Amino acid sequence: MGTDVKIAMEAAVTMYQVTNPATGKVEKEYPTATDAEISDVLAQADAGYKSWRETSLDERAAILRQVSQLYRDRADDLATLITREMGKTTTAALGEIKFAAVIYKYYADNGADLLKDQPLDTRVPGSAWVRKSPIGAILGIMPWNYPYYQVARFAAPNLMIGNTIILKHAPQCPESALAMQQIFRDAGLPDDAYINVFASNEQVAEIIADPRVAGVSVTGSERAGAAVAATAGQHLKKVVLELGGSDPFIVLDGANLPEVAKTAAAARMENGGQACNSSKRMIVAESVYDEFLSEFTAAMSGYKTGDPTDPATSYGPMSSEQAAVNLTAQVDDAVSKGATVHLGGHRVDGPGSFFEATVLSGVTPEMRAFREELFGPAAVVYKVANADEAVELANSSPFGLGGAVFGSDEALALDVANRLDVGMAWVNSAEGGGADLPFGGTKRSGVGRELGPLGIDEFVNKKLMHTPPEAS
């Protein structure tokens, strides 16, 4: 059990630490929790649940609204933390913080309605309805690429439900993890309703196994999700998994092609290419392939990496040295087997984990770039004969998170989008998102949904209630 989780977790460090990816320097270290501290966390989260579940929905909502406001009030300081931890530009960091604040407010404003009893139309005599109630302490294992947003979409609905939170953040995000815990406390949430823990991999397995923990939510790689889910399954725990993606961006014709190419580049370069649902595979009809490739490469060339605190920087360093090493290996593998590099393809000389904006074509199934997620500023462009071939190529991926389809024939574009094996499909716009829109995928991109009305339905007891008919 512990071995599987240890293999799967994203980092093999035993110390939580801030390693600035712009310089490669370790700036601060935090020790992992002791076993005694883990035992205390489990007891506190369980005790907190017994109290928090009894608070009114109005009280829970008021606290989440205050959390939302504190994110806005502390935005500059919060942005500085994640720029140091994982290299996000200050501009992008501020955007992420704003989105996190919106999520907390969405569940504060809509949670009571989303949790209302649902009457059932039944032939059984009497009245029947479904009542949604909390189930206990939930473990969240969160990634580094969106340190605040990922936690918000997990924590906000669960706290509104009445569950308590044990939060295990990525080892490279200790300071943003502590800042979030402080926000909850300053907003009036009881200390034992949200607990940050710097757990080791073995301790994560112990937390999952503990009977006081009712479920686990993971955002991370497919390997991490599979291993954590296996451990949870051994103990009959509910899981939500938001894992990798290799999302297609399908171009069916030449309508507004220059703008579509710019949209594709922006979609690929979101968060420096380090987003699960950013468009990674550009699948283009052969009739417009050459023009699109030219326009897309030109658009990608406008993205310059550099100091993430400089407003003129398009995107910062990759999140870590290992991330840059991994992407380099994937690109080099493709090139060695015949792929063409139209732009970039290399790390930037000097300190830090900077990588050039990269465009590849001629990627074939024997290359790693064909079957693996490229988690960084690199895109692959494919040529297809028609819409059917586009769908076939798009669905050949083991992932199924999201996808975007562009075409002047909206009926055809909708048909293509409907045929994609994904959890989210966008027509004539890049993949986006909102607090009120469900997020999640299929296949090896995971199970379950976050955000929107579906996001509050994952870790609840949907209890059937029934009363007999009134006596005549």
Q: What would the pLDDT profile of 328-370 be if each residue is shown by its tens digit?
A: 999 999 999 999 999 999 999 999 999 999 999 999 999 999 9
Residue 22 falls inside a structural domain: yes
Please give the mean pLDDT across all residues of the chain: 95
Q: Answer yes or no: do 234 and 297 share one domain.
A: no
Q: State how far the Cα of 189 lies from the Cα of 196, in Å rounded to an integer.
A: 13
Q: State how far the Cα of 421 lies from the Cα of 414, in Å rounded to an integer.
A: 13
| Degrees, nearest 5: CA angle 11-17-20 | 95
| Degrees, nearest 5: CA angle 17-23-27 | 30
Concatenate the DSSP letters of all residues of 200-257 into one string: -HHHHHHHHHSTTEEEEEEES-HHHHHHHHHHHHHTT-EEEEE----EEEEE-S-TTH
Per cent of the chain over pLDDT 90 is 94
- Angstrom CA distances, 54 to 159, 161, 173, 228, 402, stand at 12, 11, 32, 30, 38
| Per-residue pLDDT at 65 exceeds 90 | yes
Would you call 87 helix, strand, or coil by DSSP? coil
Q: What are phi and psi of 106, to 5 degrees?
A: -60, -50
CATH number, position 193 = 3.40.605.10
Q: Answer yes or no: do 90 and 104 share one domain.
A: yes
Q: Answer yes or no: do 256 and 233 share one domain.
A: no
Residue 441 falls inside a structural domain: no
Q: Dihedral (C-alpha) 158, 160, 165, 168: value to the nearest 10 degrees?
A: 60
Give me the amino acid identity at 444. Answer: R
Q: Answer yes or no: do 173 and 277 share one domain.
A: no
- Two structure tokens written together for 462: 């949907």
pLDDT digits (tens, 9 = 90+) for 272-298: 999 999 999 999 999 999 999 999 999
Q: What is the largest CA-CA distance in the chain?
A: 85
What residues does 128 pair with on adjacent strands?
120, 466
Q: Answer yes or no: do 35 and 88 share one domain.
A: yes
| Per-residue pLDDT at 5 exceeds 70 | no
| Per-residue pLDDT at 249 exceeds 60 | yes
What is the pLDDT at residue 221? Answer: 87
Q: Answer yes or no: do 81 and 195 share one domain.
A: yes
Give me the number of domains the chain comprises: 2
Residue with tokens 């509104």: 160
Q: Which of 96, 173, 276, 450 does the annotation list as catalytic?
A: 276
Residue 471 falls inside a structural domain: no
Q: State how far the Cα of 17 lies from the Cα of 26, in Å rounded to an integer.
A: 7
- Binned at pLDDT 50, 70 and 90, residue 471 comes out as low
Can you tell me the mean pLDDT for 43-54?
98
Q: Answer yes or no: do 230 and 363 share one domain.
A: no
| Per-residue pLDDT at 418 exceeds 90 | yes
Give me the amino acid identity at 438. Answer: P
What is the pLDDT at residue 321? Answer: 96
| Per-residue pLDDT at 12 exceeds 90 | no
Annotated catalytic residue 173: no
Q: Answer yes or no: do 48 and 61 share one domain.
A: yes
Residue 472 falls inside a structural domain: no
What is the pLDDT at residue 347? Answer: 97
Residue 73 falls inside a structural domain: yes
CATH number, position 315 = 3.40.309.10
Q: Answer yes or no: do 161 and 267 share one domain.
A: no
Residue 440 falls inside a structural domain: no
Give the global pTM.
0.95
Residue 66 falls inside a structural domain: yes
Q: State how far the Cα of 278 lies from the Cα of 288, in Å rounded to an integer.
A: 22
What is the pLDDT at residue 416? Answer: 98
Residue 260 CA, chain-centre distance (Å), reads 25
Q: Answer yes or no: do 375 and 252 share one domain.
A: yes
Q: State how far the Cα of 79 lies from the Cα of 88, in Å rounded to an integer.
A: 9
| Residue span of the structural domain in which 419 resides | 247-435
| Per-residue pLDDT at 7 exceeds 80 | no
- Two structure tokens written together for 61: 């909502």
What is the pLDDT at residue 305? Answer: 98
Q: Answer yes or no: do 61 and 43 share one domain.
A: yes
Concatenate the DSSP letters of all residues of 165-214 into one string: EEEE--TT-HHHHHHHHHHHHHTT--GGGEEE----HHHHHHHHHSTTEE
- Binned at pLDDT 50, 70 and 90, residue 159 comes out as very high
Q: Which of 242, 295, 450, 458 does the annotation list as catalytic?
A: 242
Q: Answer yes or no: do 141 and 255 share one domain.
A: no
Annotated catalytic residue 242: yes
pLDDT digits (tens, 9 = 90+) for 171-213: 999 999 999 999 999 999 999 999 999 999 899 999 999 999 9
| Per-residue pLDDT at 2 exceeds 80 | no
- Binned at pLDDT 50, 70 and 90, residue 15 comes out as confident
397 near 247, Cβ under 8 Å? Answer: no
Residue 86 falls inside a structural domain: yes
Can you tell me the mean pLDDT for 147-167?
98
Q: State how far the Cα of 254 lies from the Cα of 263, in Å rounded to an integer.
A: 14
Q: Going along 269-315, which residue ranges are E strands?
A: 279-285
